[in-house]
Chains A and B, each alone.
Chain A
Amino acid sequence: FQIHFVLLISRQGKVRLTKWYSTYSKKERSKVLRELSGVILTRGPRLCNFVEWRGLKVVYKRYASLYFCMCIDPDGNELEILEIIHHYVEVLDRYFGSVCELDLIYNFHKAYYILDEILISGELQESSKRTVVRSVAAQDSLVEAAKEQTGSTISNIIAHAAK
């Protein structure tokens, strides 16, 4: 797979999102997280955004307090991955409206939903930000509609019971 995994790590080393496209056991996953946050968080500014790691390459980019990391094969296109990261960040920004770390903490599931509209199986799915945002929004409204429906049935029940 083009991208083996995606990680969002805060500057303090807290994990905000992990998405594994290649198979890693639970143990390997926590090892990867530990090792990589050690490597990436300690890299100085103005260095290149690539780290060679265990025969693979990790492309990372920092946006405010968050590091977006994607791990690729050694012969992958690092510059393109930077664009994919930026693509994701821009979609998040459009969706949340100037996104910040807190948005991604409290709405972590939405960050996943958006990622799932951009990447599947570690490959890019959609290059149009508008299409991604629309698709997520359409699914959100499906959820809202369902909620209202159950909400109204429940309030009906309550109203009925109160009578």
Chain B
Amino acid sequence: MNPFSSGTRLRDMIRAIRSCKTAAEERAVVRKECAAIRAAISENDQDYRHRNLAKLMFIHMLGYPTHFGQMECLKLIASSGFPEKRIGYLGLMLLLDERQEVLMLVTNSLKQDLNHSNQYIIGLALCALGNICSAEMARDLAPEVERLLQFRDPNIRKKAALCSIRIIKKVPDLAENFINPAASLLREKHHGVLITGIQLCTDLCKVSSEALEYFREKCTEGLVKTLKDMANSPYAPEYDIAGITDPFLHIRLLKLLRILGQGDADASDCMNDILAQVATKIESNKNAGNAILYECVGTIMSIEDNGGLRVLAINILGRFLSNRDNNIRYVALNMLMKAITVDAQAVQRHRATILECVKDSDASIRKKALDLVYLLVNESNVKPLTKELIEYLEASDQEFKGVLTAKICSLVEKFSPEKIWYIDQMLKVLSEAGNFVKDEVWHALIVVISNASDLHGYSVRALYRAFQTSAEQETLVRVAVWCIGEYGDMLVNNVGMLDIEEPITVTESDAVDALEVSIKRHNSDLTTKAMALIALLKLSSRFPSCSERIKDIILQNKRSFVLELQQRSIEFNCILQKHQNIRSALVERMPVLDEATFSGRRAGSLPTSVSTSTGTARNLPNGIAKPAAAPVADLLDLSSDDAPAPSSSGGDFLQDLLGVDLSPASAPPGTSQPPKAGTDVLLDLLSIGTSPPAQSSSPASNILSSIQDDKASLANLNGLASLTSLSPNATSASPAPMMDLLDGFGPSPQKKEENGPAYPSLVAYESSTLRMTFNISKQPGNPQTTLIQAIFTNLSPNVYNDFLFQAAVPKFLQLHLDPASSNTLPASGNGSITQSMKVTNSQHGKKSLVMRIRIAYKINNKDVLEEGQVSNFPRDL
């Protein structure tokens, strides 16, 4: 060793690190080494630079920061000796990536080394360039690399070829310079050069159609001949793997032929014979042979059709599929997925084997097989295949159940021949793996059941049965609870019995039992419990014999710690006790849910107007991110407090379930309006909210005043207030937000008078096609804030769709826009859209209101935009 040696040798450092017992010890050793290396760097120590860099590389591999060594790489590369350069380039590739600026500094050294007299130094530079070059370096050094493609030593030619691949991938414009030199590499005998040359041609074809045409024309025959020579070559020990001469070269030739044959009948014809030969002659008892066969099958599948060859290929895959080696089965499944687009019939023949693979013990194979089965299902075989998959659901491990249920549900939904079958299969899945089912899936089931009016009785009975045996499956419970709430009477009276059904005897009290169980089960989640409460409310009018018991169960939740349940309990109790006259109307069966709306939402066709709807949500008082309509929606919808924001399809759908979608702004523009019946429910709600006189002694109001200071609950309580008929004045302490929320529901005229001084309504904007009227009111005690209800009337004979009103105000005003009542404006004044807003004037008394407006809508799918300014507000606003 060097007599001037200081510090530790690389070997000693590695040994020291390996002997560390704890991570802390290791860190200490590394810290010490790094300190020494840093010191050496700052002293510009040259003798140990390469050793220090080697150490740094090891430290880097352990995951410690080594950026301070980057410049050392450059210094080593710039030095003259081969050993320094060798370690320098290694460090460059290891410690840096192409995005680091430092890399640009090395371009010059690389250029010199590419022109070096020592071919090994050229090799080092090519290797580094090939592994980390950036687009800029590619441009700078491409001429050098191109020249080296003709270097005398084949080891340099092959490195230059691979380096060229990186260059053309980084800068595809450079491809044309490489076409000719690449083509000449195809005539080489040296395997390394041939392999890399073929690879370069393949990648050239991918980036340049010019190259593809050139190689197809000039090189196809030559490549076919090379492959033929290779396939018939005698034993060559240097390249032999399992009795085959150079499988790597075989595979690369097949890959390039695939690209040349694709979409070109002549080129495909030219290679038919050799492909047939490879497919039949290659031994398939070793991995190397199978790798070639696999590639060959891929080529046959991709080139222009030749019936005979395809049969051969599918047969190979069939053989692969029954192989005992998991790797072979895996690639067979993988290739069959591609083959299915070419020859679905042939793949169907292997269905049974593929289905077996779904049950394999190897997760990679299971998943591949499931993907393939999914592609194999069609109308004619959906029943047996689904049956198999559902049976397997029982046996599959937990991890796999999620993927499996998702696939089954999607299949059942896509290919279901009839509704009853769909419902049956979904019930099986929910009973078996309901906890793995996604929300969309059980939502969809409810929509389907709702639409199958002849199956309501059947469904609710089947669900009731399933509930008895599989009450631990959350989503099953939810669907069952919903159906019992809606169709409980059919359950009890065996309405709509089908021939295939066994009659069951369920009493009213049994049905209530089921709901009570789901509320009381400790592991039911909030959504389920809340749904069960609604179901109970619904049953209260259908099962008069149980009404006392239902009331008790509902009341038990009055003390629930979960606000949502407590609130529902109190609200529902109020309905039961004080509003007998409207109760039956309120809890009527849900109108049929609109399948189109639901599927539109599921497809994720989120409306373009989302921005406006989220905008209003964000502006809500209390900072609670809920849609503005939330307080009302909450009363009846199934979603809990943590329900997703309006942009999530699940949350939207939940509101739809009960038809209280008040925010058309969040409805997809393509679909029709929210169900008409929804508005009826809303009207019912409003009539509760406004018609009876204030009842300050109601239990709800006590609660309201007792937790008034609880800011977070305000939004909910406001909603509560609207239902329990507290007029806003009854809770005079309540702050502004409540007014705002109530205002969103369109207060009745007399309420407006209570609210403050009345203003005449004004026509804020009018064109030949559209009129916008403002009803203006003030909140008592809050002169800065103006409540405006905008009413839009269509003056033209055309319906306006996707109606969107936007407004902007100067800085001294603050505008809060609620969602509009609809996004469709009927023609010729036959109805209107209303939209509420609140303007707060920070310069009240000094400046008056002014507003710029923009109204967008569609007539027969043609966009129309109207803009204007409203400056005729009364002065004192």
List residues of A whose CB falls within 8 A of some B CB: 1-2, 15-21, 23-25, 30, 46-52, 77-80, 82-84, 87, 105-106, 108-109, 112-113, 116, 120-121, 123-131, 135, 138-139, 142-143, 146-147, 151, 154-155, 158
Contacts of A77 in B (CB 8 A): 251, 291, 294-295, 298
Nearest-neighbour CB distance to chain A for B131, whole angstroms, equals 6
Contacts of B195 in A (CB 8 A): 124-127
Q: Is the CB of A121 within 8 A of B162?
A: yes
Kindly state the separation between the CA atoms of A143 and B120 in the bound complex, as whole angstroms. Answer: 11
Kindly state the separation between the CA atoms of A121 and B170 in the bound complex, as whole angstroms. Answer: 12
Kindly state the separation between the CA atoms of A138 and B118 in the bound complex, as whole angstroms. Answer: 12
Is B247 close to A, CB under 8 A?
yes
Is B635 close to A, CB under 8 A?
no
Given A18-B61, A121-B130, verify A78-B199 contact (CB < 8 Å).
no
Kindly state the separation between the CA atoms of A92 and B86 in the bound complex, as whole angstroms. Answer: 19
Given A125-B192, A127-B239, A127-B246, verify A113-B163 contact (CB < 8 Å).
no
Q: Is the CB of B248 within 8 A of A127?
A: yes
List residues of B whose CB falls within 8 A of some A CB: 2-4, 11, 14, 18, 54, 57-58, 61-63, 81-83, 86-87, 90, 93-94, 97-99, 120, 123, 126-127, 130-131, 155, 158-159, 162-163, 165-166, 169, 191-192, 195-196, 199, 238-239, 241, 246-249, 251-252, 287-288, 290-291, 294-295, 298, 326-331, 334, 361-365, 367-368
Kindly state the separation between the CA atoms of A16 and B163 in the bound complex, as whole angstroms. Answer: 26
18 further interface pairs, Cβ-Cβ under 8 Å (given A1-B165, A24-B97, A124-B248): A1-B169, A21-B131, A48-B329, A48-B364, A50-B364, A77-B294, A78-B331, A80-B251, A82-B327, A108-B57, A120-B162, A121-B130, A124-B199, A125-B158, A125-B196, A126-B195, A128-B239, A158-B3
- Which of B162, B238, B361 has the most chain A CB atoms inside 10 A of its CB? B162
Q: Is the CB of B191 within 8 A of A128?
A: yes
Q: Is the CB of A142 within 8 A of B61?
A: no
Contacts of B365 in A (CB 8 A): 48
Report 9 cross-chain contacts, Cβ distance below 8 Å, ordered by A residue.
A2-B199, A105-B18, A109-B90, A123-B165, A127-B191, A127-B195, A138-B120, A143-B86, A154-B4
Kindly state the separation between the CA atoms of A151 and B47 in the bound complex, as whole angstroms. Answer: 12
Given A24-B97, A77-B291, A143-B83, verify A121-B131 contact (CB < 8 Å).
yes
Q: Is the CB of B247 within 8 A of A135?
A: no
Kindly state the separation between the CA atoms of A125 and B165 in the bound complex, as whole angstroms. Answer: 12
Contacts of A1 in B (CB 8 A): 165-166, 169
Q: Which residue of A lies closest to B250 (CB)?
A: A80
Given A121-B163, A142-B82, verify A126-B326 contact (CB < 8 Å).
no
Contacts of A126 in B (CB 8 A): 158, 191-192, 195
Q: Which residue of B lies closest to A151 (CB)?
A: B2
Q: Is the CB of A80 within 8 A of B295?
A: yes
Given A79-B327, A120-B162, verify A128-B192 contact (CB < 8 Å).
yes
Q: Is the CB of B287 within 8 A of A83?
A: yes
Q: Is the CB of B61 within 8 A of A50?
A: no
Q: Is the CB of A125 within 8 A of B162?
A: yes
Q: Is the CB of A139 within 8 A of B159?
A: no
Nearest-neighbour CB distance to chain B for A113, whole angstroms, equals 7
Kindly state the separation between the CA atoms of A151 and B90 in the bound complex, as whole angstroms. Answer: 23
Contacts of B93 in A (CB 8 A): 19, 112, 116
Contacts of A50 in B (CB 8 A): 327, 330, 364
Given A106-B14, A135-B155, verify A154-B364 contact (CB < 8 Å).
no
Nearest-neighbour CB distance to chain A for B319, whole angstroms, equals 14
Contacts of B331 in A (CB 8 A): 78-79
Kindly state the separation between the CA atoms of A155 and B165 in the bound complex, as whole angstroms. Answer: 47
Cβ-closest 4 pairs across A and B: A79-B291, A48-B326, A120-B162, A120-B130
Q: Is the CB of B127 within 8 A of A116?
A: yes
Kindly state the separation between the CA atoms of A71 and B120 in the bound complex, as whole angstroms. Answer: 29
- Which of A105, A128, A147 has the most chain B CB atoms inside 10 A of its CB? A128
Q: Is the CB of A83 within 8 A of B57?
A: no
Q: Is the CB of A30 within 8 A of B83?
A: no
- Which of A17, A120, A129, A138 has the most chain B CB atoms inside 10 A of its CB? A120
Kindly state the separation between the CA atoms of A30 and B66 in the bound complex, as whole angstroms. Answer: 14
Q: Is the CB of A49 within 8 A of B162?
A: no
Kindly state the separation between the CA atoms of A30 and B368 in the bound complex, as whole angstroms. Answer: 28
Kindly state the separation between the CA atoms of A126 and B361 in the bound complex, as whole angstroms. Answer: 37
Q: Which residue of A lies closest to B99 (CB)?
A: A23
Q: Is the CB of B11 within 8 A of A106?
A: yes
Q: Is the CB of B287 within 8 A of A79?
A: yes
Determine which of A16, A52, A123, A154 lies in contact with B3 in the assembled complex, contact meaning CB atoms within 8 Å. A154
Q: Which residue of A lies closest to B82 (CB)?
A: A142
Contacts of A16 in B (CB 8 A): 61
Kindly state the separation between the CA atoms of A123 and B195 in the bound complex, as whole angstroms. Answer: 10
Kindly state the separation between the CA atoms of A68 and B329 in the bound complex, as whole angstroms. Answer: 21
Q: Is the CB of B97 within 8 A of A25?
A: yes
Kindly state the separation between the CA atoms of A80 and B255 in the bound complex, as whole angstroms. Answer: 12
Kindly state the separation between the CA atoms of A50 and B291 in the bound complex, as whole angstroms. Answer: 14
Kindly state the separation between the CA atoms of A77 and B328 in the bound complex, as whole angstroms. Answer: 11
Kindly state the separation between the CA atoms of A51 and B365 in the bound complex, as whole angstroms. Answer: 9
Contacts of A82 in B (CB 8 A): 287, 291, 327
Kindly state the separation between the CA atoms of A30 and B702 in the bound complex, as whole angstroms. Answer: 58
Kindly state the separation between the CA atoms of A23 and B90 in the bound complex, as whole angstroms. Answer: 17
Given A21-B131, A46-B326, verify A123-B199 contact (CB < 8 Å).
yes
Given A15-B61, A123-B199, A151-B2, verify A78-B192 contact (CB < 8 Å).
no
Kindly state the separation between the CA atoms of A30 and B367 in the bound complex, as whole angstroms. Answer: 27
Q: Is the CB of A128 within 8 A of B165?
A: no
Kindly state the separation between the CA atoms of A158 and B239 in the bound complex, as whole angstroms. Answer: 50
Contacts of A79 in B (CB 8 A): 287, 290-291, 294, 327-328, 331
Contacts of B246 in A (CB 8 A): 127
Contacts of B291 in A (CB 8 A): 77, 79-80, 82-83
Kindly state the separation between the CA atoms of A26 and B287 in the bound complex, as whole angstroms. Answer: 35
Kindly state the separation between the CA atoms of A135 and B97 in the bound complex, as whole angstroms. Answer: 26
Kindly state the separation between the CA atoms of A151 and B3 in the bound complex, as whole angstroms. Answer: 9
Q: Is the CB of B127 within 8 A of A146?
A: no
Contacts of B87 in A (CB 8 A): 109
Nearest-neighbour CB distance to chain A for B33, whole angstroms, equals 15
Contacts of B82 in A (CB 8 A): 139, 142-143, 146
Q: Is the CB of A108 within 8 A of B83?
A: no
Q: Is the CB of B251 within 8 A of A47?
A: no
Kindly state the separation between the CA atoms of A18 and B93 in the bound complex, as whole angstroms. Answer: 11
Determine which of A48, A130, A154 lies in contact with B330 in the assembled complex, contact meaning CB atoms within 8 Å. A48
Kindly state the separation between the CA atoms of A9 and B166 in the bound complex, as whole angstroms. Answer: 27
Contacts of A15 in B (CB 8 A): 61-63
Contacts of A120 in B (CB 8 A): 126-127, 130-131, 159, 162-163
Nearest-neighbour CB distance to chain A for B199, whole angstroms, equals 5
Q: Is the CB of A83 within 8 A of B288?
A: yes
Q: Is the CB of B295 within 8 A of A47?
A: no
Contacts of B120 in A (CB 8 A): 138-139, 142
Contacts of B364 in A (CB 8 A): 47-48, 50-52
Q: Which residue of A lies closest to B192 (CB)?
A: A126
Nearest-neighbour CB distance to chain A for B123, whole angstroms, equals 8
Contacts of A116 in B (CB 8 A): 90, 93, 127, 131
Q: Is the CB of A52 within 8 A of B367?
A: yes
Kindly state the separation between the CA atoms of A142 and B121 in the bound complex, as whole angstroms. Answer: 11
Contacts of A155 in B (CB 8 A): 3
Q: Is the CB of B327 within 8 A of A147?
A: no
Contacts of B329 in A (CB 8 A): 48
Q: Is the CB of B83 within 8 A of A147?
A: yes
Q: Which residue of A lies closest to B330 (CB)?
A: A48
Q: Which residue of B lies closest to A17 (CB)?
A: B61
Q: Is the CB of A131 within 8 A of B192?
A: yes
Nearest-neighbour CB distance to chain B for A42, whole angstroms, equals 11
Q: Which residue of B lies closest to A82 (CB)?
A: B287
